[in-house]
Structure 1
Amino acid sequence: MRMSLFSGKSILVTGAASGIGLAVARYCADQGAARLILVDRDSIPADFAHEAVAGDVRDEALWDALDLTGLDHAVVNAGVAGAGAIAELSLEAWRHILSINLDGAFLTLRAAMRAMRGRGGSIVLTASAAGVKAEPGVAAYGTSKAALIHLAKVAAKEGAPQRIRVNAIAPAGVETPVWDAIPMFAERAAEVGRDAAFAEMAAIATPLGRYAKPEEIARQIGFLLSEQSALVTGTTLLSDGGYTL
């Protein structure tokens, strides 16, 4: 009988209430995880076994208090989207996105690496194709995700002596609730429906003509976390349907 990828493993996932984070949590549960520590400000569905931690990833006290003993894997996923031209962007809006997407990721990553010292493990940071390809109006979001890509590389080099692997994944369009915070998408979805709005945008922006489902990205993150990628560290998996070509 084939062994599940995460049998007996302890896994941390942030931003686990919806979208990619929830898909990852469900995938890890299906793959035999023994302990799922799921962090989010919002409530997490109760259709699978997990430890729910309500909190803000930017709160250092949250990480100081959280028991991550025995942690094997971590998915640094919590984040927000936002849009605005540089000349029109407020410092408050800039700091809001950077604080969640980068400060929160740093604190999560630091806590995970501390918990894995002396025993090894693997970590995946959820970046974005927006951190690779420049587009108007996404200065704060794109910069935060570009920084995550580099942070993963530095963490991989620092973690290697401790047998801690660190990688990033950079999706382009993924059909998640994060799009609802973008006025352009929200307006179009109200007119034609979310599925049609996603299809329209994907047809324009993605050579393969569609966006990813959260479950697809979850399986790719699972690969990066698992022993199937035992020699992969410091890399970024672009899962973008050709968007960055």
Structure 2
Amino acid sequence: MNFTDRSILVTGAASGIGLAVAQALAGAGAERLVLIDRDGEALGRIDLGCTLDLVPGDVADEGFWDNAAPYLAGIDHAVVNAGVAGAGPIADLAFAEWRRILAVNLDGAFLTLRAAMRAMAGRPGSIVAVASAAGIKVEPGVAAYGASKAGLIQLARVAAREGAATGLRVNAIAPGGVETPVWDDMPMFADRAAAIGRAAAFRELAAMATPLGRYATAEEIAGQITFLLSDAAATITGAVLTSDGGYTL
């Protein structure tokens, strides 16, 4: 998995899976990384030893992508990763909360994918969209998040079909539980972490939810994304790699 002389876009790059992907790609020889996140301060702290274009902004803002287009010139790969979490039963879910989650996770993913496909038009390349096992397996209380990720999986599959003629591969990855900061915004996890510690809370959740009894690290998911982007996955397109410790079985 050699990315020498390659330029790669990663959204949601300031933390969690996005940051781990950026680190993995830099370690694999990437020449230039275009890193996008709403948290400009966290972006500014990233130093990976390769050329970095750090572009703070909201992926769900169409105008942002108009301004960001020059940074995408010449990209070879893209990771559609920016996302937000949220939970609540349908009967109690405020429409504003539904729109908040769908705006980033689906509208933002569409705008990212569209911008990347335009930048790579007529050239081979690869894109990975970071979906979720919540877009495959039904659980109560995750209507907005699950719907956004199910929509992203189908969006990636359509993009794979549309891009195949020019050698553009598009795949999705559907992680289950991953030890990232996104959990800290979930009251259920935050309360448990405050009571028994963050590491113990992850172990407790994983023991209940996954046959393998563990969650993935961001670095493990990043390695799988790097594989799907790489030439080692040259014949894989339109696939959904489920990486969930057996959660969806």
* TM-score calculated relative to the size of structure 1: 0.97
- Superposition pairs for residues 228-243 of structure 1, below 5 Å? 228-243=232-247
The number of residues matched between the two structures is 242
Farther-moved stretch of structure 1 (39-48 vs 159-168): 39-48
- Where 1:165 maps in the other structure, the secondary structure is strand
Farther-moved stretch of structure 1 (106-115 vs 49-58): 49-58
- Superposition pairs for residues 15-34 of structure 1, below 5 Å? 15-34=12-31
Tell me the amino acid that sits aligned with residue 204 of structure 1.
M
- Superposition pairs for residues 1-245 of structure 1, below 5 Å? 5-42=2-39, 43-44=42-43, 45-48=45-48, 49=50, 50-66=52-68, 67=70, 68-245=72-249
Tell me the amino acid that sits aligned with residue 177 of structure 1.
P
Q: Measure the CA separation in 2 of the matches of 1:51 and 1:70.
A: 13
Query: Gapped runs of 5+ residues in structure 1?
Result: none
Q: Deviations over 1:18-62 (max 9, x none)?
A: 000000000000001011000001122323142110100011122
Q: Measure the CA separation in 2 of the matches of 1:167 and 1:119.
A: 17
Q: Deviations over 1:168-207 (max 9, x none)?
A: 0000000000001110000000111110000000000000
* TM-score calculated relative to the size of structure 2: 0.96
Q: Measure the CA separation in 2 of the matches of 1:13 and 1:159.
A: 19
Q: Measure the CA separation in 1 of the matches of 2:2 and 2:65.
A: 27
Q: Measure the CA separation in 2 of the matches of 1:157 and 1:11.
A: 21
Tell me the amino acid that sits aligned with residue 8 of structure 1.
D
Q: Measure the CA separation in 1 of the matches of 2:166 and 2:116.
A: 12
Tell me the amino acid that sits aligned with residue 198 of structure 1.
F
Farther-moved stretch of structure 1 (45-54 vs 24-33): 45-54
Q: Measure the CA separation in 2 of the matches of 1:173 and 1:76.
A: 18
Tell me the amino acid that sits aligned with residue 64 of structure 1.
D
Q: Measure the CA separation in 2 of the matches of 1:221 and 1:108.
A: 17
Q: Measure the CA separation in 2 of the matches of 1:200 and 1:214.
A: 18
Q: Deviations over 1:141-186 (max 9, x none)?
A: 0000000110011000001112110000000000000001110000
Farther-moved stretch of structure 1 (49-58 vs 85-94): 49-58
Query: Gapped runs of 5+ residues in structure 2?
Result: none
Alignment RMSD: 0.8
Shift >3 Å, 4+ stretches: none
Identity value in percent:
68
Q: Deviations over 1:97-126 (max 9, x none)?
A: 000000000000000000111112100000
- Where 1:81 maps in the other structure, the secondary structure is coil
Farther-moved stretch of structure 1 (175-184 vs 44-53): 44-53
- Where 1:47 maps in the other structure, the secondary structure is coil
